[in-house]
Amino acid sequence: MADRRVTVTQVRSYIGTKPKHRATLRALGLRGIGQSNTLPDRPEIRGMIARVPHLVRVTVPEGDRSTEAPETAAAGDTDESS
């Protein structure tokens, strides 16, 4: 997992967001819309991404997809038979 990487791209402006969200974007190395940064896939980075999912887009490079953990199901994708 140490060599896995994620690319984080800022897709929305931080104007009007909380100061903690702005600080999280700065900590991820993002300064403006459209800017990307490739970071190691570690729990600390994933935690920062989880704080600002509405402002960023996360992609995993092609070489790292083979070892990627399965994505969690969306809220509407439950398998309830009752």
Give domain status of residue 41, yes or no.
Answer: yes
Instruction: Tell me 51's DSSP state.
Output: H
Nearest CA to 60 out of 15, 23, 6, 8 is that of 6
| pLDDT score at 70 | 46
| pLDDT above 60 for 82 | no
What confidence tens digit (pLDDT) does each residue in 4-56 have? 999 999 999 999 999 999 999 999 999 999 999 999 999 999 999 999 999 99
| pLDDT score at 2 | 53
- Report the CATH number that the domain containing residue 11 is assigned in CATH: 3.30.1390.20
Give domain status of residue 53, yes or no.
Answer: yes
* CB-count exposure of residue 60 (10 Å: 0-12, 13-18, 19+): middle
Task: Please give the residue range of the domain that contains residue 18.
Answer: 5-66
Two tokens, residue 29: 């190395």
At 77, the pLDDT band (50, 70, 90 cuts) reads low
Tell me the residue type at 66.
Answer: S
Give domain status of residue 76, yes or no.
Answer: no
Q: How far is CA 77 from CA 5, 54, 59, 72, in A?
A: 27, 20, 22, 10
At 62, the pLDDT band (50, 70, 90 cuts) reads confident
| pLDDT score at 73 | 43
